[in-house]
Structure 1
Amino acid sequence: MGAFLDKPKTEKHNAHGAGNGLRYGLSSMQGWRVEMEDAHTAVVGIPHGLEDWSFFAVYDGHAGSRVANYCSTHLLEHITNNEDFRATEKPGSALEPSVENVKSGIRTGFLKIDEYMRNFSDLRNGMDRSGSTAVGVMISPEHVYFINCGDSRAVLYRNGQVCFSTQDHKPCNPREKERIQNAGGSVMIQRVNGSLAVSRALGDYDYKCVDGKGPTEQLVSPEPEVCEILRAEEDEFIILACDGIWDVMSNEELCEFVKSRLEVSDDLEKVCNWVVDTCLHKGSRDNMSIVLVCFSNAPKVSDEAVKKDAELDKYLESRVEGKSILFTRNDVIAFLSMKTKLLKAIMPLYVGSNSGMVVCLNFYVSGKNVFKPRGYCILVFHKHFLNVSFRFVLYLYRSKCNLVKCYIS
């Protein structure tokens, strides 16, 4: 946990599917980490009477992939097969579980799978100390159940804005910190006993052995937070992602990015790939996984957006010289004027560099009188020229160009 490669592994695992009025795509990348410890679940049509329900989840493993991989295969069955989830059903009936039974069943399923895995020999004897966060959604015809245990995150984008987000379970949160201290632990450098960065997780049994305390009272709790939201016609998409994504993009930034990409492609795998590529080049050093679930009201491909995107690629290609992209000040002004909406740069963050003065700009695009995050750009000032990199990392990645190195003469 915490070890890095000399260069990132950028091969991706992809999948997609559709059903129950939903479309989904997913992408995962190992990145800079020595091992790939993420896992995911995507089920459209839950077996045994819930065929019009769907379940999606992302698991961010740490100290190994054992727990994450097992949960990706078996968590759903632990949820739907327990007595709390099915409490309102009668044998042979088509009656669906109530909202309270679903929420109770999800919590019970987490506790049951956590106790079940504790008996695995390698986890019991300490040979494997792995754990995993879990974030998921269970989608019924009427509700979306958001499920979170740890610091992965899910967001719902509705009617052009972030409508809901799960809350990260961090040791420094007052409620989490109180439980940790009541179990005899401490929070140091924002970690449980100075070590673990999450306060809720599956596995991590070294933190679940305090005598006299129940499973939800331990240093690390396996209890998920479950919230139900009524579905609405304005629902556009849900994003599930691990902290390798959220570490470098806020809820609003990621949703705006996904929205803009859905306007140029209906390939959800490709959209997810754009996300992980962007996060890698924005500095994420973790494994990266994202599941994108689109409702029928999700943004559609726009001919105008496709045209503008193609024009931008063509313009960038015209500026390639060898393995660098060179822009004059006038080129940057021309690039900004190509956008159909007004772009502005907020106060930059200055960073000293051997290759000149580096300025990180956060571009905002106006819409409905509100400036929304659009992406990042790094400008390297070198005499009278500007070398533009981060805004164009997707192009650089596709064209195999290296980021330009600038030397002060």
Structure 2
Amino acid sequence: MGLLTRVLPTFLKPAPDPSPEAAEGPVRDRLSFQYAATELPSPRPSPRGAKEAPVGGALAETLGNATRHGIAPGPDGRSLAKINQDRGVVHYPFNGSCNEALLCVFDGHGGSGEKVAEFCMRAIPELLQQNGLELRASPSEQLSNTVCEADRAVLAHRGGEFARMCGCTSIIVYMQGATVWTACSGDSRAVLGYVRDGAIRARDLSVDCKPDSPEEYERIVGAGGVVSGASGASPARVWADGRVGLAMSRSIGDGECKRFGVIPDPEIKRFDLGAAPANEPEADGDRFIIVASDGVWEFIDSQEACEIVASAPASAAEGCAKLVHEAAARWKQEEGNYRDDITAIVARLPFTFGSATVDAQQEPALADVGSYYINLGARGISKFGREPATVMKRKSRAEDPAEESNRDSTPDSPVAADGSDFAKRRLSVASPVVGDFGAELSDSFRSLGGWEAGTEVASEPSESSDLE
């Protein structure tokens, strides 16, 4: 029985609806929430009106999420909507306790990277809950073991062929009261926003896993890999047999690069949080945590991201939307009609209930409720199932103008020089030779990202337990 088959059935069961009378104190106020987040629209006005933020009501004050699919230059100067390979999930309550929470972002890359990311989004939280006692007792060890187990499952799929040229990053934030652990494999990032002397400041809760950092470089070269240094807009890369260049030193999947020093083992960090007293909201203290894919961090540093989120002090949802919109604007300014997928989660502190714990036997429903997913059934998302999903969509000149006004990829967007230029600079997985864009996408470019010209796919979440 495969890992997916073991994990998904219980995880996808509808959560029970506990009676409010069964919960006491703060638990009654924050019992549960469960939804699938949708794509964040363009900030441009639309005759149909803007879509509502994924998180609304009182919860929007505490929790926000937002995502935007990427775009790529087309053969005739028009933009193409790229499949959104980012996935994310928030679980609260988590592990049978209102004192625990889990925030995750997985950024897929390569031909089926979105399926690797979606598998991780579902499997990793469930595996952590299956070993809930061990997680509470030894968070660092359990987080590392779980990520590595997910990597083994992905690499074993289809005899190792499925994830040979694709994978995903992983950034996991596990909160246990006022203590937080981060587990990072790749270049997605978690950041703490805090106030000191009346000013908002940033503290990185994770370190980007880059091939040219000293320890990573030594390990990769020792395994026979080649590291090319960062140059201008081109990131440092691990080269496997000179054929595949991965812009990170740790990831889930990417079997070809695993033979050359790339590892799944996350870098684990532990921090103690100190939120401002409830009766002194302006006092020094920790304010929020941002968890985001590298589409946010490419042109926005941690300090600026915290300033953007802090500009919406009353709503985590608003602050998160502002951050993602600004990241998209920077991509357009810097790269014209190429943009990476952009996904972010913002959780205002205190997110858990501090010292208030809930025994799993007393509140059995809490382990299975309180979860929402980012990127299920939204526009531009590939189907998680057996049917092949097309990955790019040419913008039709006959599109409804109201619908077009709610999108980012338009004919008058600045045009990148050519396909090889943007691929060399921005893709997480690169090839030394990338064909240019003609009437048909070249085979080399197609193998780079698994992209096919065609129509966008929007589908309901599938309960399939296959990576196929």
Same fold (TM over 0.5): yes
The alignment of Structure 1 onto Structure 2 pairs a total of residues equal to: 273
1:56 and 2:103 matched: yes
Asked whether the 8 Å contact 1:245–1:279 carries over to 2, the reply is: yes
The 2-side partners of 1:404 and 1:38 are apart by 23
Asked whether the 8 Å contact 1:26–1:292 carries over to 2, the reply is: yes
Letter in 2 for 1:172: D
TM-score normalised according to structure 1 size:
0.60
Q: 1:283 aligns to what SS in structure 2?
A: helix
The 2-side partners of 1:115 and 1:19 are apart by 40
Q: Structure 1 unaligned segments of length 5 or more: list them.
A: 1-7, 88-95, 211-217, 298-395
1:277 and 2:277 matched: no
The 2-side partners of 1:404 and 1:278 are apart by 17
Matches within 5 A, 1:173-252: 173-189=213-229, 190-193=236-239, 195-208=245-258, 210=259, 219-233=261-275, 234-252=285-303
Asked whether the 8 Å contact 2:70–2:341 carries over to 1, the reply is: yes
Q: Identify, as 1 or 2, the structure richer in strand.
A: 1
Partner of 2:139: 102
| 1:137 CA displacement | 0.9
Matches within 5 A, 1:105-184: 105-121=142-158, 124-126=160-162, 129-159=165-195, 160-184=200-224
Partner of 1:45: 93
TM-score normalised according to structure 2 size:
0.53
| 1:166 CA displacement | 1.4
Asked whether the 8 Å contact 1:16–1:268 carries over to 2, the reply is: no
Percentage of pairs with the same residue: 27
Letter in 2 for 1:137: V
Distance 1:252 1:106, change over 3 A: same
Matches within 5 A, 1:2-81: 10=42, 15-16=54-55, 23-33=62-72, 34-47=82-95, 49-63=96-110, 64-81=113-130
| Structure showing greater Rg | 1
The 2-side partners of 1:19 and 1:137 are apart by 23
Q: Structure 2 unaligned segments of length 5 or more: list them.
A: 1-39, 44-50, 73-81, 230-235, 276-284, 333-338, 352-404, 415-468
The 1-side partners of 2:225 and 2:347 are apart by 38
Matches within 5 A, 1:301-380: none
Asked whether the 8 Å contact 2:203–2:302 carries over to 1, the reply is: no
Asked whether the 8 Å contact 1:79–1:108 carries over to 2, the reply is: no
Letter in 1 for 2:83: E
| 1:182 CA displacement | 1.1
Distance 1:154 1:52, change over 3 A: same
Asked which structure has the greater RCO (Cα within 8 Å, sep 6+), the reply is 2
- Identify the match of residue 289 of structure 1 among 343, 358, 381: 343
Q: 2:169 aligns to what SS in structure 1?
A: strand
The 2-side partners of 1:141 and 1:20 are apart by 19
| 1:126 CA displacement | 4.0
Asked whether the 8 Å contact 1:38–1:65 carries over to 2, the reply is: yes
Distance 1:22 1:114, change over 3 A: farther
Asked whether the 8 Å contact 1:10–1:30 carries over to 2, the reply is: no
